[in-house]
A and B are shown apart, each in its own frame.
Chain A
Amino acid sequence: MLMGLCVLLLMAATGALAQSKEVKGKITDSKDGTPIQGATVHARGGKASVVSAADGSFSITVDARTRQLEVTYVGYAAQTVALNGAAPVTVSLEQSGETLGEIVVVGYGTKSRRDVTGSVVKVQSKDIANTPATSFESALQGRAAGVQVNQQNGKLGQGINIRIRGASSVTAGNEPLYVVDGIPITTDDLSSTIAPTNALADLNMNDIESVEILKDASAAAIYGSRGSNGVVLITTKKGKAGTSKLELGYYHGNQRATGRRKFMNATEYVNYFKQAGLGAAKLDYAAGYFNTLQEAIEDYESYIPSRFTRYAAGENTWETGAVNTDWQDEVFRTAPISQYDMSVTGGNDKTKVFFSGQYLNQKGILIGNSYKRYSGRLNIEHKLKNWLTAGANLSYARSLNYRVSNDNAFSTPLQIIALSPITPVIDPRTGLLSGALDLATDAPNTNYPVYYNPLLNVDNAFYHTLVNRTIGNAYLNANLLNGLTFRTELGIDQLNQTEESYYGKLTARNTGVANGNGTYATTEMLNLNTNNYFQYAKTFGTVHSLDATLGMSYQNRQMVYSTATGEQFPSDAYKTLSSAASKTDASSGSTSNTLLSYFLRASYKFANKYLLGVSGRIDGSSRFGTNNRYGFFPAVSAGWVLTEENFLKGEKWLSFLKLKASYGVTGNDNISDFASRGLYTGDAAYGGQAGQKPVQIANPDLKWETSTGADIGVEGSILQSRIGFEVEVYQRKTKDLILSVEVPGTSGFSTQYKNVGNLTNKGIEITLNTTNIQTRNFRWTSTLNFSANKNKITNLGGQELGNSVNRAREGEALGVFVAREFAGADPANGDALYITNTVKADGTRDRATTNDYNAATDVVIGNPNPKFIYGFGNTVSYKGFDLDVLLQGVNGNQIFNKAGTYMSASGSNGFDNQTVDQLAAWKNPGDITMIPEARLFYPNGTDPSSRYISSGSYLRVKAVTLGYNLPRTLLNQIGLDRVRVYARAQNLFTITKYEGWDPEVNSDYQASNINLGNDFYSAPQAKTIVFGVNIGL
Chain B
Amino acid sequence: MKYVKNLYILCAAAVFTVAACSKKLDTIPTESISNEAALATTSDVKIAMVGAYDDLGNAYLYGGDIFILGDLMAATTEINWSGTFGAMTQVYNKAIPVDNSYIANVWLSGYRAINDVNNVLSALDVIKDEDTRDDMEGQAKFIRGSVLFDLVRVFAKSWNDGNPAANAGVPIVLTPTRSITDSSKVPRATVAAVYAQVISDLTDAETLLPPTNGFYASSLAASAMLARIYLQQGDYAKAAVQANKVIASNAFRLTGTYEAAFPFPGGMAGAVANTTEDVFAMQITSSSGTNDFQTFYSPLGRGDIQIEDAHLNLYEADDDRLNLFYNSGGSVFTGKFDNLYGNVHIIRLAEMYLIRAEANFRQGTAVGAAPVDDINTIRDRANLALYNAADLTLAKILLERKLELAFEGFGLHDAKRLQQSVGNIAWNANNLVFPVPQRERRVNTNLSQNDGYQ
List A residues at the B interface (Cβ < 8 Å): 2-3, 6, 10, 287-289, 306, 310, 387, 438, 445-448, 478, 480-481, 486, 488, 512-514, 530, 532, 551-552, 554, 556, 567-568, 582, 584-585, 589-594, 596, 598, 620-622, 629, 673-674, 677-698, 742-750, 752, 799-800, 803, 853-854, 901-902, 908-910, 912, 937-939, 942-943
Contacts and interface: CB of A to CB of B under 8 A. Distances in A.
A693 B107 contact: no
Contacts of B35: 678-680, 694, 698
Contacts of B396: none
Nearest to B107: A745
B399 to A, nearest CB: 20
A481 B3 CA distance: 7
Given A680-B33, A686-B288, A743 B44 contact: no
B111 A679 contact: no
A674 B95 CA distance: 41
A545 B33 CA distance: 54
Given A685-B288, A902-B84, 15 more contacts: A287-B423, A310-B330, A438-B329, A447-B299, A486-B14, A552-B14, A582-B286, A598-B18, A680-B38, A686-B53, A694-B119, A744-B444, A745-B108, A747-B184, A943-B97
Interface in B229-272: 268-271
Interface stretch (B159-167, B170-178, B218-226, B315-323): B170-178
B7 A481 contact: yes
Contacts of B14: 2, 486, 488, 532, 551-552
Given A2-B14, A674-B29, A687-B283, A596 B24 contact: yes
B343 to A, nearest CB: 9
A20 to B, nearest CB: 22
A854 B449 CA distance: 13
Given A552-B17, A692-B48, A683 B423 contact: no
A782 to B, nearest CB: 48
B275 interface: no
A448 B329 CA distance: 8
A826 B36 CA distance: 60
Interface in B94-124: 95, 97-98, 101, 104, 107-108, 111-112, 114-116, 118-119
Interface string B68-79: 000000001100
Interface string B33-55: 11110100000100111111111
A808 to B, nearest CB: 13
Contacts of B289: 686-687
A693 B51 contact: yes
A679 B34 contact: yes
B398 to A, nearest CB: 21
A937 B305 CA distance: 13
Given A486-B10, A743-B184, A2 B25 contact: no
A682 B29 CA distance: 12
Contacts of A288: 76, 423-424
Contacts of A567: 269, 286
Interface of B: 3-4, 6-8, 10-15, 17-18, 21-22, 24-27, 29-36, 38, 44, 47-55, 57, 76-77, 81-82, 84, 86, 89-90, 93, 95, 97-98, 101, 104, 107-108, 111-112, 114-116, 118-119, 171, 173, 176-180, 184-186, 215, 268-271, 283, 285-289, 299-301, 303, 328-331, 340, 423-424, 437, 439-440, 442-444, 453
Contacts of A592: 27
Given A698-B35, A744-B440, A6 B7 contact: yes
Contact of B171 (A591, A596, A746): A746
A939 B51 contact: no
Contacts of A306: 330
A446 B440 contact: no
B114 A748 contact: yes
24 contacts: A387-B3, A478-B6, A480-B10, A514-B269, A551-B14, A589-B30, A594-B24, A622-B24, A622-B27, A678-B34, A679-B32, A681-B31, A685-B50, A688-B271, A691-B52, A691-B54, A692-B38, A692-B50, A742-B439, A746-B171, A746-B173, A748-B112, A752-B180, A854-B95
Contacts of B114: 746, 748
Given A3-B15, A691-B51, A746-B173, A696 B180 contact: no
A536 to B, nearest CB: 12
Contacts of B15: 2-3
B50 A684 contact: yes
B185 A691 contact: no
The 6 closest A-B pairs by CB, nearest first: A748-B115, A691-B50, A687-B283, A693-B51, A684-B51, A691-B51
A289 B423 contact: yes
A693 B303 CA distance: 32
A683 B15 CA distance: 43
A888 to B, nearest CB: 36
A206 B398 CA distance: 77
B47 A692 contact: yes
B50 to A, nearest CB: 3
A748 B10 contact: no
Residue among A387, A488, A696, A746 having the largest count of chain B Cβ atoms under 10 Å:
A746
A744 B76 contact: no
A554 B328 CA distance: 63
A572 to B, nearest CB: 18
A640 to B, nearest CB: 36
B17 A532 contact: yes
